[in-house]
Structure 1
Amino acid sequence: MKNQSTVTEFTLTSFPVLPELRAFLFAVLLFTYTLTATGNIIISLIWTDNRLQTPMYFFPSNLSFLDILYTTVVTPKLLACLLGEKKTISSAGCITQAYFCFYVGTVEFILLAVMSFDRYVAICNPLCYPIIMNSRACLLLVLGCWVGAFLSVLAPTIVVTRLPYCHKEINHFFCDIAPLLQVACIDMHLIEKIDFLLSALVTLSSLAFTTGSYTYIISTILRIPSAQGHQKVFYTCPSHITVVSIAYGSNIFVYVRPNQNYSLDFNKVAAVLITVVTPLLNLFIYSLRNDKVKELLRDSMDRIIFLILRKTH
C-alpha cells in the first residue's frame, strides 16, 4: 500500500439527468438548501433566547446546528456539478467531505437516540425530569455524542486517507465512503466488512434505543384514560417517528450492507433523502411545529420588520 494516492483529483458523476431537466433539478435543490440553511440558522439564533434555555429545547438546537453542517457539506458541491461542466474535486477535498459527512451523520444518529431518551424521561417520569435531565447532564450527553462519533469514525478515516487511488471517476454526487472505496487500487473486501460492522453498530444500536424509547412513550400515553392524552401521542409521536424512519431507513439501505458496490445509482436517491430531505423535515418537525418556537419566531420577525420600517421612514 502506498502512503499517498496516485490521483490528485476526482470526477463526480453526479446525477445522470437529461440536460433539459438539469436546470429544474438545480432550482429545486437550491430552493430546498436555501430554505433548510436559512431556517436552521434562524432557529439556531432563536434557541439563544432565555425563554428557551431548558433541556427540552437544548437538544433540538444542536440538531439544527448539525443539519446546517450536514446539508452544507454536500449540497453546494452538488449544485456546482449540476450548474457547470466541471465536476472535479481535489483528493484532499474529497476525503475531507467524506469525513465530515460520516462524522456529522454519526453525531446526528446518536443525538436522535439521546432526544428520544429525553422525551421518554419527560413523558414517563415527569416528576424526576428536572433532576435527571439537568443542565450538566444535557451538556455531557451532547458532548458524548460528538466525542463518541469522533472515536467511531477516526479509524476508518485514517484508513481512507492512506489508501492508494488509481481511478478518477466517483459514481456519486459527493464523496461518500462506499464509492470512494471503489476507486482504490487494492482489494477492499476486508475494509468494506469493517466499514459495514461499524455502520451497523452505530446505526442499529441507536435505532434500537430510539425504538425502545418511543415504544415506552406510546405505551405510557395510551394508558392515560383521558382523550387529551391520546391526542398528545397522535400529535407528537407520528411526526418524530416519520423523521426517524426516513433517516434510519435510508441510512440502513445505503450503509448497513455487507457489500455496497451494487446499486450505486439507486443509492444516490437514498443519499438525497439523507442529505437534503431529512434536514428540511427536522426543521419543520422538531422546530417549527413547537408553539414556543413559533411565538419567538413571530416576535423576531416583528422586530425585524419594525427596524426595516423605521429605517425607511
Structure 2
Amino acid sequence: MLNRRAFSAALLSTVAAPAAIRAQAQTISDFRSQAMGLSQLHAIMVQRGNDILVAEAPRGPGLDRAANIKSCSKSIVALLTGAAISQGAIAGVNATLGSVAPGIIPQDATAGVADLTIEDLVTLRAGLEGTSGGNYGSWVNSGDWVAFALRRPMIARPGQRMIYSTGSTHVLGAALATATGESLLEQARTVLGGPLGIEIPAWTRDPQGFYMGGNEMALTPRAMLRIAVLMRDSGRFEGRQVIPSDWMRASVQPRTRSPYSGLSYGYGWFLSDSGFVIARGYGGQIIAAHPEHALAVAITSDPNVPARSDGHFGQLMDLLEGAALALT
C-alpha cells in the first residue's frame, strides 16, 4: 500500500506530466512560429535524440527533393578528408600538397603552394587570395579552376588567418581525388551515402573533370539532417562509426575565426560559443548539431538571395541559439 507521502508524490507526478507535455508542445509551437516567420526559409527539420520535433517546408522544393547546399559542401569535403586520412590515402593533416598531389600544381603556381598542408586547405588558411566574392566569376569561367586558385597571390602566411575561398576547398577536393583515385562523388557516396542511407546526386565539375569542392552539392533536407546527426553523435550513425572519432574530435577544435560572422572554424565546420557545430551555405543553407543538447538541425533557404550575418543568417543563428536550445 502507498503511504500518504508516496500517494501525494504519485498524484503530483500524474498532474505534472500533462503540464510538461503541454509546455513542450508550446515550446515546439513557438519554435515553428518563429521559423515560419522567416521569409527566405524553405525547409527546416529538427531532431532531438531519436525524435523529429519539427519537419516543415513552407516554401521551396520540400523535404524530399534535393536542394543546392552551397558552401555546406565545404564541410562535406572536410569529412571526406578525414576518411581519406583514416584509409591511408593521405598521411595526415600535415601532408603537403606537393606530396599528396604534385600533378595538380601548375608550373607557374605561386611560390610556396607545394608546401601548403592539408590542414591549411581544410581550415581555409592557405594564405592565397580568395576566389570567392568578387573573384568568383573569373574563377569559374577560367579554363582550369585548380590552376587559377594556385596562381592567386599569397596575401597572408599559410596557417595563419582565415581567407574564405571556395578555390581552397576545390584544390583540397582535387587533391583528395588524386590521392584516393576516386572522384569526390564516388567518395561521398561511399563514405556518407551508403552508411547514412542517403542519395548524393552528381554535381558541377570543372573543365578538368574534378567535382567542385566547396559548392554546388545537392542534398534533401532529410539527408542533411542525417549528416547533422552524424556530427552530433561524434561520427556515428545508427551504431556504426562512419567518420573516425579522432577526426571528429579534431574537427570541432577552433583553428581560426571567420572575419565575417565571428564564428570559430575547425576542420571545415563553424563553431558557435554555445556549442553548435555548423555547416553554412550561401542563402541560408545550414547543417547544425549540438552534441550537448542532442540536437540535429537541417535548414534550406532561398539559394538566390544573400543571407548575411546581419540579415537572414543572423536570424537563423538567433533561432538556433534561442528557440532551438529551448526545445531541450
Indicate the TM-score class for this superposition, using the shorter chain for normalisation.
Answer: 0.3 to 0.5
TM-score, structure 2 length as denominator? 0.31
TM-score, structure 1 length as denominator? 0.32
Structure with the bigger percentage of strand: 2
Structure with the bigger percentage of helix: 1
